[in-house]
Structure 1
């Protein structure tokens, strides 16, 4: 029988500094909740707003897959393995930190805020070579359907972080219904509502709500509003730490 865990938007951790407003679905930095240490291999889901001209200075990471999805504005990424890139809304940045990397992330605008989702997934293997990928999310491929932009069998327009992990995104008109088949037995799916409202297996979700589902082979999804945007993260329910 399918199991569910609901995280309402207003139940998230919330850190607010002069230049950063960060809402955290799972324990991270100064927010600690022993009941929210992640969802399977999904470790971090932060909903961040960075003030113009500000950002995260150079700092280290290792052995984590870090996905950044700008929702508004752009980020300037720079790392010690030679990457200096701008990633904007409608694109996704994937950094495999592997054996170790130093990087910085700044708002590319001096005046306008940048809003983005910061997501961490435990890697499949430790101490691999660091890597960086940037991809585009085509509007036509995510209109009233779920577009898998991270998947094991990646192509030129998508990428891979693990052989058992799929990330999908879609923007839907009110009344649209889709079925999401779970790709691999033992995986769970964490759904995060970026905008609008949805039902998932009959459970109503509002903006920035999250719903984890496991022990199921499919999800039934319905859009309750126009321009409703949904992110699905299918991951194994073990971390392989």
Structure 2
């Protein structure tokens, strides 16, 4: 069975005082030639940002950028004129396209912000930049997946310029859930946000991840109550 493990302990680390980051894939000054991307998934950063701190205005192009606050709130501003705050239970999606600048700050002056930032290669370059945010908290139910991102033609959650489905789910102890690839040329990237699972005879704990490809149905046994992130994606960039 083709799979690749991404242990929490093997992630890249960056501690800038105000920013404590963990990188699943090569990013900034941390480079691992074996961890450049998984299919069209280029970046999965696990960031903790001190109160009142953040990233000033900076540019991006030709990347689909997804931000998922885990605790706390993000204050966003961009060159398209968008401003707002995104909290836990919401998702932010930005298609950088032909070029955009933006800033992201911890909206709190007292509490730390924890978030995932995910970058996905687009299927079309130099599109018009766009921004979206969506509150998915009312859609979440125990022991089922909630789709946060899908391709434009599908219309579930927010959409991006890529044939990708991004889902989260909260599953009870002893729950078994099956995940499915879409066949040859597609893969699944699974991260344990919280909890502990067993998959393909591997035990994964908090922030451990696995990439799987060219498989059909794979059972996940939750050995503890778990929150999971699942990205269903094309393997060819």
The equivalent residue for 1:97 is 96
Q: Is the 8 A contact 1:94 1:133 kept in 2?
A: yes
C-alpha change, 1:59 and 1:159, in structure 2 (3 Å) is same
Alpha-carbon deviation of 1:179? 1.0
Structure 1: distance between partners of 2:188 and 2:40: 11
C-alpha change, 1:111 and 1:47, in structure 2 (3 Å) is same
1:138 aligns with 2:170: no
C-alpha change, 1:163 and 1:48, in structure 2 (3 Å) is closer
Alpha-carbon deviation of 1:162? 3.6
Gaps of 5+ in 1: none
C-alpha change, 1:99 and 1:116, in structure 2 (3 Å) is same
SS in structure 1 at match of 2:140: helix
Matches within 5 A, 1:115-126: 115-126=114-125
Alpha-carbon deviation of 1:88? 0.3
Matches within 5 A, 1:6-155: 6-138=5-137, 141-152=140-151, 153-155=153-155
TM-score normalised by length of structure 2: 0.95
Alpha-carbon deviation of 1:141? 3.2
1:231 aligns with 2:229: yes
Structure 1: distance between partners of 2:139 and 2:78: 32
SS in structure 2 at match of 1:238: coil
Structure 2: distance between partners of 1:19 and 1:138: 28
Number of aligned residue pairs: give it. Answer: 236
Structure 2: distance between partners of 1:54 and 1:42: 27
Q: Deviations over 1:103-146 (max 9, x none)?
A: 00000001110000010000010000001111122355341111
Structure 1: distance between partners of 2:221 and 2:58: 41
Q: Is the 8 A contact 1:164 1:184 kept in 2?
A: no
Q: Deviations over 1:65-119 (max 9, x none)?
A: 0000000100001001010010001111011000000000000001110000010
Structure 1: distance between partners of 2:80 and 2:97: 12
C-alpha change, 1:42 and 1:50, in structure 2 (3 Å) is same
The equivalent residue for 1:208 is 207
Q: Which moved more, 1:75-84 or 1:199-208?
A: 199-208
Q: Deviations over 1:134-160 (max 9, x none)?
A: 1122355341111222123443x6122
Structure 2: distance between partners of 1:96 and 1:85: 17
